Structure 1
Amino acid sequence: MTLSTWLDRLPLIAILRGVAPDEILPIAQALADEGFAIVEVPLNSPNPFESLRRLALEFGDRLLCGAGTVLTPEDANRVAEAGGKIVVMPHADTAVIAAAKAAGLYCTPGIATPTEGFAALAAGADGLKLFPAEAQSPSVLKAMRAVFPKDVPFLPVGGIAPDNMGPWRAAGAAGFGLGSALYKPGMGAQEVRANARAFVSAWRNG
């Protein structure tokens, strides 16, 4: 399987920044029920590797489970040890990309320029996280899309909401990473479910 296999199911990545181990399973169930296929636990969450371990154990056969805010090669290896299958980064450190790929993980580094993007692909990246999207624009993405291989998925992250995905999609976004508009610390599963449903509806009807 490739990263695109998962993105084809639903190209919306749930970013559960701040989630705690005791909260992860009901929230993941709500996301799975609404059609989500990819869930990440950022490593600046409370006890993130335990959350990832529980997530992978319970949902690893149904969801692509992994970690975000992965900053070092050592953390990439710990993601693999916890059962994760994808590393998402805020930056494009090629050493982290190489470690993730050596561990058999998908890797989506954060990039803001073509230079970073091409270097990340050369290091083995499976997709490119355009981050922070608030500092970019659909026109920037369109310009990048014109020079990158057509099969490279670009995933804007940062400030994405159900009502602003359209211009990004028109510019070539393959999907999105969803942060605080989907989940904030303290939200219960039902609130996350409602947010997830709004995003899925916006994607499918966009």
Structure 2
Amino acid sequence: MLTPWLSPLPLVAILRGLRPDEAVATGRAIVDAGFRILEVPLNSPQPTDSIAQLAAALGNDVLVGAGTVMSPDDVAAVAAAGGRLIVMPHADVTVIRAAKASGLLCVPGVATPTEAFAALAAGADGLKLFPAEQAAPAVLKAWRAVLPRDVPVLPVGGISPDNMAPWVAAGAAGFGIGSALFAPGRSLDDTAARARAFAQAWRDLAT
């Protein structure tokens, strides 16, 4: 189930470009701000090494996984590294089924209702509305009128602490946060401050 991981703070840290030598320190800084889901995209340097380190250091309390997962072979590599979450930019049902067959949670990227329903039929645990810049809260509101109520939809792309409110009002269950949170070369203190700002923005919405 994805929901228990989203409940404390429904923000996914997308750590594109993370290096293994900085993985644990970066993960701890973000988790200290309240995040409980960490995603290392597979187009990062040595991504499975970072996933393995994060899973070993934080895996009891944090859902660690991979993004930009493109094939069943990728799913197997993530599972072997100790990852428990598969996030995709697309809705390839063969990848979704491979993730579920491996006992992993899966959040595919979808841009249309047709993709959304096909992904759910294949076993998706949630939906990544991607890229969010291509859509709008009004689009999500229309989706929410027909999607099952218990399916979390997380917009990804262009999300900042200042623009979450309209999406939440339209039915977003949370968000994936990428370069606005972490980017290669950014200081650990800067990343930690950004993580706290996102967490506070969510809490402000919830009050």
Counterpart in 1 of 2:68?
69
Identical aligned residues as a percent:
63
Secondary structure of the structure 1 residue equivalent to 2:7 = helix
Specify the alignment match of 1:113 in structure 2: 112
Asked if the contact 1:68–1:87 (Cα under 8 Å) also holds between the matched residues in 2, the reply is yes
* C-alpha deviation, 1:187, in angstroms: 1.5
Deviation string, structure 1 residues 101-150 (Cα, Å, up to 9, x no partner): 00010000000000000000000000000000000000000000000000
Q: Aligned equivalents of 1:188 and 1:57: distance in 2? A: 23
Distance in 1, Cα, partners of 2:159 & 2:57: 28
TM-score (norm 2): 0.98
**Does the CA-based 8 Å contact 1:39-1:64 persist in structure 2?**
yes
Amino acid across the alignment from 1:169: V
**Structure 2: 5+ residue runs without aligned partners?**
none
- Equivalent pair of 1:20/1:51 in contact (CA under 8 Å): yes
Offset, 1:203: 0.4
Counterpart position of 1:99: 98
Partner of 2:152: 153
Partner of 2:171: 172
Cα offsets for 1:43-102 (capped at 9, x unmatched) = 000000101011111111011000000000110111110000000000000000000000
What's the secondary structure of 1:9's corresponding residue? coil
What residue identity is the alignment partner of 2:97? A
Give 1:137's aligned amino acid. A
Q: Which runs of 4+ in 1 moved over 2 A?
A: none
> Structure 1 CA distance, aligned partners of 2:145 and 2:187?
41
1:157: Cα distance to partner? Answer: 0.1
C-alpha distance in structure 2 between counterparts of 1:187 and 1:71, whole Å = 27
* Counterpart amino acid of residue 101 in structure 1: K
Contact 1:70 1:90 survives alignment (8 Å): yes
Report the Cα offset of residue 181 of structure 1: 0.4
Name the counterpart of 1:188. 187
Q: How many positions carry a matched residue from both structures? A: 205
**Equivalence map 1:1-206=2 (5 Å):** 2-206=1-205
Instruction: Supply the distance in 2 between the matched residues of 1:49 and 1:87 (Cα, whole angstroms).
Output: 12
CA contact (8 A) 1:27 1:188 kept: no
Q: What TM-score does the superposition give when structure 1 sets the normalisation length?
A: 0.99
Letter paired with 1:36: F
